[in-house]
A and B are shown apart, each in its own frame.
Chain A
């Protein structure tokens, strides 16, 4: 079983749609969680951290369920510029401090 699993998509949605991505992780000792965004032929960049209480940044909402080892990202009112690959990322902490494990990514295409 992969350490971090995501639905690879692709998701094709019209502008203005709401889209949700899910992710599960296998290591219950994982400490912190993130969503990174990667544009085509570019490097990954941090989109947002994910907190246990859930957090929101504009049109983006991230949720964490530690009991189910499940992370989600919700994008409301999709824009063309949201088209990218979204990577679910887990940080182990402890003796693995600093080390991130990346999911395979979910591809999103927003069309006019």
Chain B
């Protein structure tokens, strides 16, 4: 069983704060690392798929970095807004398998 860990488990910030969270995954047999945004009562929505060491991806105020050699990825949110409140999931894909192994998520709450 592959071990994918996310930290922190939950985070409470104020509007305008910038924040970041971590996903750690096995450094061997890497194929891809996925980030999803998951709002309560909705389905997970893909944010990024990262495949190369050193990759940096950005979508609006959200960005992610990838270090496959040491097995971690950071997700950054700049100037958090209440609509950013959600659970952020990372998922690791090993080798050429189609399966994803998910972390338990970081639950972010942004208040006014």
- Asked if chains A and B come from one complex, the reply is no
Residues of B within 8 A of A (CB): none
